[in-house]
């Protein structure tokens, strides 16, 4: 009687201890608690013109090493400036006053954090001090714009000539999107308008004059850079001896693939879909398949 009763109690006690051990493990080893430094810290102000997606408790790093976290984010009264208070571990009290605080993103889709690059000043920031030099968050849109936008190569060049191309579907192609040949930008999209008679999209491409030997039977296709990138017009050179001239129209076009279709094909077909994609990637020799959407 008392023997089995006690063994139940012991076993149950073990079970409870195991449960709480698991809870402690989950709570301390796999959560952001693991990142919170318990030690003493001092507070430094930094003003940012734009904090992007920065959140409270986001890490503060030097050379990629975590030295503290964002304590609070408030809007400076009356100014379009965000006042960010950083709680920095007292171990790291030798930060020069002219250090630059920037808001970075960990990876393309990751959370944002504050990175501090050391300045050269002999003076260090003390508790309650301010980091004057800051660099605001880079907006993804601006970055992408810089990367893909018309501002790239085409902007720096002298004159352009325009060519028209008709697509049954331009997808999300917008004005300013790059025109590429062999992956290199050679111009940009000048206008995208719907043709009232043919009922398709008439796209005007502004192409750098340097590239004036493009065969007039070249194909224009609307491609997407990467899975989540912007769309652009790719020109695949044909074999005709005559070159495109200003005001010409490109006859061979391939419309935009819808992302949904792409993902659908990709996920459903798996690896066997690769072959089909490769086939579609080649320019169609007639506009007819392009119109299937």
Partner 1 sequence: MNPRAPQGNNVVTQSLAQIGNCGLFLLTLLAAIPRSFRYVRETIRQLWFVGAMSLTIIMVCGLFVGMVLMLQLYHVLSIFGGTSASGMVVALSVYRELGPVVTALLFAGRAGTSITAEIGLMRATDQIDAMEMMAVDPIAYVATPRFLAGLIAMPLLCCVFCAMAIFGGHLIGVSWLGIDNGTFWSNMTAVVEVHTDIVNGVLFKSLAFGAVVSLIAVYQGFTTPPTSEGVAYATTRTVVASSIAILALDFVLTAFLM
154 CB neighbour count, 10 Å cutoff: 19
Q: Which DSSP state fits 235?
A: E
Q: Looking at beta carbons only, is 73 or 251 nearer to partner 1?
A: 73
Residue span binding partner 1 (CB under 8 A) among the ranges 19-27, 76-84, 89-97, 168-176:
19-27
Cα(281)–Cα(223) distance, integer angstroms = 9
Q: Are 233 and 180 in contact (CB under 8 A)?
A: yes
Task: Give the E-state strand segments of 182-230 in sequence order.
Answer: 184-194, 201-208, 219-224
Instruction: Determine the 3-state secondary structure of 160 from DSSP.
Output: strand
Contact string 257-276 vs partner 1 (x = CB under 8 A) = ---------x----------
Residues 20, 121, 193, 276: which binds partner 1 (CB under 8 A)?
20
* Contact with partner 1 (CB under 8 A) among 19, 64, 229, 289: 19
For residue 9, give both structure tokens.
């109690």
Q: Which of 40, 63, 227, 268 forms a contact with partner 1 (CB under 8 A)? A: 227
Dist CA 41 CA 272 (whole Å)? 56
CA gap 136, 103 in Å, rounded: 6
Tell whether residue 65 is a contact of partner 1 (CB under 8 A). Answer: no
**Is residue 34 near partner 1 by the rule CB under 8 A?**
yes
Among 56, 111, 242, 277, binds partner 1 (CB under 8 A): 111
Question: Which residue number, 59 or 287, has a Cβ lying nearer to partner 1?
Answer: 59
Contact predicate 222/259, CB 8 Å? no
Nearer residue to partner 1 within complex by CB, 40 or 267: 267
Cβ–Cβ under 8 Å, residues 74 and 112: no
Identify which of residues 59 and 185 has a Cβ nearer to partner 1 in the complex. Answer: 59
Question: Least separation, in Å, of the C-beta of 44 and partner 1?
Answer: 22
Where on the chain is the footprint of partner 1 (CB under 8 A)? 5, 8-9, 11-12, 14-16, 18-20, 22-23, 25-27, 29-35, 109, 111, 227, 266
């Amino acid at each position: 009687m008392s023997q089995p009763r006690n063994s139940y109690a012991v076993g149950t006690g073990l079970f409870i201890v195991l449960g709480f051990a698991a809870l402690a493990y989950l709570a301390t080893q796999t959560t952001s608690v693991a990142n919170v430094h318990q030690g003493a810290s001092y507070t430094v102000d930094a003003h940012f013109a734009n904090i992007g997606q920065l959140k409270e408790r986001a890490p503060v790093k030097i050379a990629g090493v975590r030295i503290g976290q964002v304590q609070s984010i408030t809007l400076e009264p009356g100014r379009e400036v965000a006042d960010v208070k950083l709680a920095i571990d007292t171990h790291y009290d030798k930060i020069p006053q002219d250090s630059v605080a920037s808001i970075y993103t960990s990876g393309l889709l990751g959370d944002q954090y504050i990175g501090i690059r050391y300045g050269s000043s002999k003076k260090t920031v003390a508790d309650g001090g301010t980091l004057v030099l800051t660099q605001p968050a880079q907006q993804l849109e601006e970055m992408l714009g810089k990367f893909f936008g018309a501002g790239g190569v085409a902007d720096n060049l002298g004159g352009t000539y325009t060519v028209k191309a008709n697509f049954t579907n331009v997808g999300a192609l917008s004005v300013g999107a790059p025109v590429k040949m062999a992956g290199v930008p050679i111009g940009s999209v000048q206008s995208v308008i719907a043709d009232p008679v043919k009922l398709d999209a008439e796209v005007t491409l502004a192409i750098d004059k340097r590239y004036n030997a493009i065969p007039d039977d070249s194909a224009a296709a609307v491609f997407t850079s990467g899975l989540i990138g912007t769309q652009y017009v790719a020109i695949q050179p044909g074999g005709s001896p005559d070159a495109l001239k200003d005001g010409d129209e490109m006859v061979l076009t391939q419309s935009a693939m819808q992302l949904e279709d792409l993902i659908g094909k990709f996920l459903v077909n798996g690896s066997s879909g690769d072959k089909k994609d490769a086939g579609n990637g080649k320019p169609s020799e007639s506009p007819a398949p392009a119109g299937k959407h």
